[in-house]
Amino acid sequence: MKTEPKRKLITFDWAMKRLLRSKANFEILEGFLSELLGEDIGAWHMNAISMS
């Protein structure tokens, strides 16, 4: 009797923590969030930095 392989599920927060371990991945996350939200996150981030 064959058993189905278990599906491995990951949570969004775990994936983001893993992705952000390297600062080189910030641009990847920025692009992903921009597409997900339909907004330019990079411009928002730059505005937040200039306001502080």
Residues in the chain: 52
C-alpha to C-alpha distance for 29 and 25, rounded to whole angstroms: 6
19 touches 32 (CB < 8 A) = no
Count the Cβ atoms, other than its own, within 10 Å of residue 14: 10
Q: Which long-range contacts (CB under 8 A, 24 or more apart) does 12-15 make?
A: none
29 touches 36 (CB < 8 A) = no
Q: Name the one residue in this structure whose structure tokens are 């992903």.
A: 32
Predicted local confidence at residue 46, as pLDDT = 57
pLDDT digits (tens, 9 = 90+) for 3-35: 766 767 778 888 878 888 888 888 888 888 889
